[in-house]
Structure 1
Amino acid sequence: MAENRLMQSTANTPYKAVVIGGSTGSLDVLLPVLSVLKPPLTFSLVVVVHRKNTPNSPLATLLSVKTTLPVREVDDKDVMKPGCVYLAPADYHLLVEHDGTFSLDDSEKINFSRPAIDVTFESAADVYGAGVVGILLSGANADGTRGLKAIKQAGGITVAQQPATAQVAYMPQQAIDNAAVDRVLDVPELIQFINQLNEANQAL
């Protein structure tokens, strides 16, 4: 069924954005995934990770070291472009706007988190519909489940990390239990899946 959903989506619209959310333990997945993704990417890769707001955060630099793809921490009104990795800044919610830009919001925390994964998932679903893929990784709270529901309702593809492979299984397990995700993948399968999305876009 998941394979059919992938084929149906690519037949109707290219994938515009792959949005990856995670918390504790998610870097254990992000780093190996980024290191082997095959450029050029035909979509934007948006990363939302729960992290502390500390001066000179090294996360963007750390991600950059692991990939040949351009990585940037998002500034307000940045234009979203395919082929780039965009990182949500600490202490701001990250939204995707209908004019193809990002916006930052410092309103109250959601699920005790800012940035909240739900906010980015929901805004991407609203803008891109069936052209968005949401991926939820390791973490210790329920952030992301509501956003995956929005992506699924909009016709996009929803993915959760295999809980048995997560440092903290709670976040992906909540999505599996409550959001009816399309795929449950371990790290090698996730790498293959994202590369397949890219190949599907290239074939359009």
Structure 2
Amino acid sequence: MSVLTSLGDVLDGRTFEAVVIGASAGGVSALLEILPGLPRDVPVPVVVVVHMLRGRPSQLAELFAARLDAPVREAMDKDEVAPGSVYFAPADYHLSLEADATFSLSCEPLHIFTRPAIDYAMQSAADVYGDALVGILLTGANHDGAAGLAAIGAAGGLTVVQDPHEAQVPVMPREAIKLRAPDLILPLREIRGLLTMLETR
């Protein structure tokens, strides 16, 4: 496990174009701790993928819209991935980011028993944004997101994992750390602080 590193040291001189966050079991509570810290004029798009029960519509966009100053919406196929908004993956669709900075939704088979899958969003975003991407993986009960976060790291992006000792369900953070050491392992309060410190290109 990598040691916790000073946020200032890691962010010094770095600029970013997008953030992708993945979470599963316990994720809504974790997101309620970190996302309300976003400013109204959040300078990058923040894309959030949360595992959900199949067959039910997602109400995450509505839940967080009532609690955030920044605009919140559900990602739609072909929508522009624009700075200044928080986007949630819709229920029962894989969410990918395309080279023209638009969203793509698909009904491809379940990935690690889930759709939407965190790996799809993170791996596609790594292809689009490279070293200008921040990937954050939170609490969860399986290894979805580990490969996606590793892809972000391989592309030069900044990788962040919730401290497994704090996570409601530590399997997902531990699997990510095991696959590729992240740049930062942080408690939620410091992830919230990180999101307010990002500078843009």
Q: CA deviation at 1:36?
A: 2.1
1:84 aligns with 2:89: no
State the aligned residue count. Answer: 196
Q: SS where residue 48 of structure 1 aligns? A: strand
| Contact kept? 2:37, 2:195, Cα under 8 Å | no
Q: State how far apart, in whole Å, the 1-side matches of 2:150 and 2:37 are.
A: 28
Structure 2: stretches of 5+ with no match in the other structure: none
Superposition pairs of residues 21-36 of structure 1, within 5 angstroms: 21-36=22-37
**Alignment correspondent of 1:40:** 41
Superposition pairs of residues 1-204 of structure 1, within 5 angstroms: 3-8=8-13, 10=14, 14-197=15-198, 200-201=199-200
Q: CA deviation at 1:162?
A: 0.7
Q: State how far apart, in whole Å, the 1-side matches of 2:58 and 2:9 are.
A: 41
Write the letter of the residue equivalent to 1:30. L
Q: State how far apart, in whole Å, the 2-side matches of 1:128 and 1:171 are.
A: 23
Q: CA deviation at 1:56?
A: 4.6
Relative to the length of structure 1, the TM-score reads: 0.91
Identity value in percent:
46
Q: CA deviation at 1:37?
A: 1.7
TM-superposition CA deviations, 1:126-174 (whole Å, max 9, x none): 0000010100000000001101111001000000001111110000011
Q: State how far apart, in whole Å, the 2-side matches of 1:144 and 1:106 are.
A: 18
Write the letter of the residue equivalent to 1:152. G
Structure 1: stretches of 5+ with no match in the other structure: none
Q: State how far apart, in whole Å, the 1-side matches of 2:189 and 2:109 are.
A: 36
Q: SS where residue 107 of structure 1 aligns? A: coil
Specify which structure has the higher proportion of helix.
1
Q: State how far apart, in whole Å, the 1-side matches of 2:83 and 2:9 are.
A: 25
TM-superposition CA deviations, 1:57-113 (whole Å, max 9, x none): 322111111101111111100111101000001111100001110000110111111
Q: State how far apart, in whole Å, the 1-side matches of 2:114 and 2:188 are.
A: 25
Write the letter of the residue equivalent to 1:7. D
Write the letter of the residue equivalent to 2:86. V
Q: State how far apart, in whole Å, the 2-side matches of 1:68 and 1:79 are.
A: 20
Taking only aligned residues, the RMSD between alpha carbons, in angstroms, comes to 1.5
Q: State how far apart, in whole Å, the 1-side matches of 2:25 and 2:57 are.
A: 20
Q: CA deviation at 1:5?
A: 4.4
Q: CA deviation at 1:32?
A: 2.0
Q: State how far apart, in whole Å, the 2-side matches of 1:163 and 1:38 are.
A: 27
